[in-house]
Each structure stands twice: as C-alpha cells, then as structure tokens.
Amino acid sequence: MPHSRLKWAILILAVLLGGGAWTLASRVTPQDAAPGSLPPAPRVGFAAPDFAATTLDGTAVRLADLRGRPVVLNFWATWCPPCLQELPHLMDAARRSGGRVVILGIDNGEPAATVRTFANDRGLNYPIVLDPAFAITDLYRVDGLPTTFFIDQDGIIRDMMMGPLTPATLQDKLATIGAVP
C-alpha cells in the first residue's frame, strides 16, 4: 500500500510540474505577438503607451515628451452627450491647474474642421489631439466614450475611468497622479 501512495504522489508531482512548464512555455510576450496584432492593453500600474500626434493648432505632441508632469488623456467626440457633460469639469481642472497637469483631449475620428469649430465655440482651454484613423484609440483599447486615463509624472497609468467624470470623481482621480489643482 505505501508503494502505491508513492507512485500517486510522484504522478501528481509530475503533472503539476509539467503543467507549470507548459504554462510558462506557452506565454505570449509582446515581442512574440504576431505582426499586426495589438500590443497588450494598457493597465493601471504599467507604463502608458507612447504615441505621437498633432493638436488642433498643428503642434506635434508626443506622450513621452510630457514626462515630468501628470497627464490626463480624455478620449471623446463632439457627438457624444456624456463627453459634453464632462467638458466643463475638464476645462475647470485645466484652468485651476495652471499648467501643472496636462489635460489632453483625444478626439475620435472626426474631421479637423468639425472639432476646431466645436472647440472654438465652447472655448476649450486644453489641447485636443485628432485621432482620425483611431490609432491612439486602438492603442489604448478604448471601447466606449468618454474614457479617461490618469498618468503620473513618471508615465505610469495610475487610474482610468469609462464614462463621464463628475467634479468629485475628477478631483479624486487627479489626486491619484499627484495633481490636485
């Protein structure tokens, strides 16, 4: 009987070790990903994916160049009612921060003229980046609008939110990146 238990213990140990080895060997890392596939989705606690784009006024902006200051990436569109609901709160935060926080609106797929007219009519006081082909939206795996990422001064995503920001929620999320205006 003891001999039988030993065989079972060895068998169970072999299965566990084999399963662990299989799990490690079958992991897909970003460098192993198929060409053309999307990188891993951005996550809280990890570096924000870098991108380069152009603002409405023609200024080139690269996320990596904003290191040293907290950044709020807000994905939105002019046709999105919840996005319009949160605009005054973002504008107020931009005004109160005095440039200590970079609030960057990422417009989703709309023509520059439409967004420019909208921004001018509403007096938007923070830069708007155009994302006509949804490249940044895809990079950040945005599934709905509005979606906002809160990135600390070291480029690490500290929080994110899908849905409209209220003044209290925005204040709380800004605190997570050390940016309470």
- 19-64: per-residue pLDDT in tens? 555 444 444 444 444 556 656 789 999 999 999 999 999 999 999 9
- Rg (C-alpha) for the chain, rounded Å, is 22
Per-residue pLDDT band for 179 (boundaries 50, 70, 90) equals confident
Give the model's pLDDT for residue 1.
Answer: 54
Average pLDDT along the chain? 87
Is 52-176 a domain of CATH 3.40.30.10? yes
Spell out the domain ranges in the chain.
2-28, 52-176
What pTM was computed for the model? 0.78
Rounded CA-CA distance 26/36 in Å is 20
How do the residues of the chain divide into helix, strand and coil, expressed in percent and rounded to 5? 40, 20, 40
Rounded CA-CA distance 59/72 in Å is 18
Which residues have CB under 8 Å from 146's CB, separation 6+? 74, 75, 76, 80, 82, 83, 86, 162, 163, 164, 165
User: With 80 as the cut, is the pLDDT of residue 13 above it?
Assistant: no
